[in-house]
Structure 1
Amino acid sequence: MGLLECCARCLIGAPFASLVATGLCFFGVALFCGCGHEALTGTEQLIETYFSKNYQDYEYLIDVYGGHREGGGLAALLAVALPWLTPVTASPSVLVPLGWHGEVHPDKFVGITYVLTIIWLLVFACSAVPVYIYFNTWTTCQSIANPSKTSASIGTLCADARMYGVLPWNAFPGKVCGSNLLSVCKTSEFQMTFHLFIAAFVGAAATLVSLLTFIIAATYNFAVLKLMGRGTKF
């Protein structure tokens, strides 16, 4: 076999969709975990400075980040293993010269991928919540900065962290109103945290897209194996 023909056979059997999804998964997990961690750290600082001095009021934010980080680790592990499932079905002869041997179970990968996709779908939905809260706060600040665009009194325009469940109802003061709120929105901490949450949201979306791609690849492999009646040992 010539070198050119060998390369052609390798390229034909390469799992391009899974490899692209792998890169997207690593990118999404890194973006979500990194930006999410920094955004939660910035949020804690904003809460401690303007909304509540009691650490126990926002302690659960750390637990939320811990859960997101574990979900990111599971998705990253899947990204390492799953791309090599595709060429086993599509062109197993490509892997034999490369020293591949063993047994794979695409049905198990399908199940694992479905579970992780559901988890990341929840993470994606949860990551939209802080973006929504910060956007509402930013919108309120715009109304305070342009009082002619609203009929409400500036003093009644507030950002209440308690109404979103960020703080318990007994937290004090729990909210910032009027010109004080406008000052908060103008701080670099608020602006940076807002953009970091948006980046974390994009990372969660990218990870979810990559997992959906994995589902398509793994389901296709499993269906082909069943249709052709082929074993999975090489």
Structure 2
Amino acid sequence: SLSSRWLECCARCLIGAPFASLVATGLCFFGVALFCGCGHEALTGTERLIETYFSKNYQDYEYLIDVIHAFQYVIYGTASFFFLYGALLLAEGFYTTGAVRQIFGDYKTTICGKGLSATFVGVTYALTIVWLLVFACSAVPVYIYFNTWTTCQSIAIPSKTSASIGTLCADARMYGVLPWNAFPGKVCGSNLLSICKTPEFQMTFHLFIAAFVGAAATLISLLTYMIAATYNFAVLKLMGRGTKF
């Protein structure tokens, strides 16, 4: 019957589906959305914190604002690129599975098909290396905010440290966020504790953590793509046929 043939066709498609590519694509979309969305808002929150608490002179953080805005535009481009590239990698995964072979019979892979698979392997390798740097850079703001939060915990609970509360500070200049001649450039003691308790600080801190998690998820998806694409290309090259992956 028509329904049984339809179910049989669906079953064959599922058997030959590139599950590794499907998982990697979902993880890539999730990671990029988390990294770009949360990263964009976290940078905006950092801008507000700097101009509100760490410097009263716009010239001190004018360069920082330009860098933040440039990064936000890069984020827009990154999101668009990875959503497109993820879709292409998924399509390539379907191409190199046995789904077509299961339905239409054995087929020989063309030289063009092999070249396209090799291109995806090379580009994915390069993207993985670049994203390793992005992943490392995304850990920097988390480290800075965590240090600030830890200092606030020491101020809130003086028994945690032997230092005077007034000497416990968060200095934006020491991280290169502000120039050394910025005033005040740092916030200490109870003033710093009050900043840590603000919704702006808490939200920005958690947004950077979420962006870091998104960068990690994207890196894992790229590593999965890289393994799957390398395996598929090796089979195409050695066997001259599509393979399941």
Tell me if both proteins adopt one fold, taking TM over 0.5 as the criterion: yes
Q: Distance in 2 between matches of 1:5 and 1:57?
A: 62
> TM-score w.r.t. structure 2 length?
0.86
Tell me which residue corresponds to 2:8: 5
Cα distance, 1:230 vs structure 2 = 4.4
Aligned AA (1:85): E
Distance 1:76 1:116 in 2: 14
Contact 1:155 1:177 in 2 (8 A): yes
Summarize the Cα distance change of 1:93–1:230 in structure 2 as closer, same or farther, 3 Å threshold: closer
2:205 to 173, 194, 199: 194
- Give how far 1:121 is off: 1.2
1:40-87 CA distance string (max 9 Å, x none): 111100000001231414222222333344333322221111012123
Q: How high is the sequence identity, in percent, across the aligned residues?
A: 74
Q: Is this contact kept in 1: 2:12–2:103, CA < 8 A?
A: no
- The runs of 4+ residues in structure 1 deviating greater than 6 Å are none
1:1-234 matches, within 5 Å, as: 2-53=5-56, 54=58, 55-59=61-65, 60-91=67-98, 92-93=100-101, 104=113, 105-230=116-241
Of Structure 1 and Structure 2, the greater helix share is in 2
Question: 1 CA distance for matches of 2:76 and 2:227?
Answer: 25
Structure 1 gaps of 5+ residues are none
SS in 2 for 1:176: strand
Task: Note if contact 2:172-2:178 (Cα within 8 Å) is conserved in structure 1.
Answer: yes
Task: Give the Cα–Cα distance (whole angstroms) in 1 for the partners of residues 78 and 132 of structure 2.
Answer: 11
TM-score (norm: length of structure 1): 0.90
User: How big is the alpha-carbon RMSD for the aligned residues of Structure 1 and Structure 2?
Assistant: 2.1
Q: Following the alignment from structure 1 to structure 2, what is the Cα–Cα distance between the partners of residues 93 and 24?
A: 27
Deviation at 1:171, TM superposition (A): 1.6
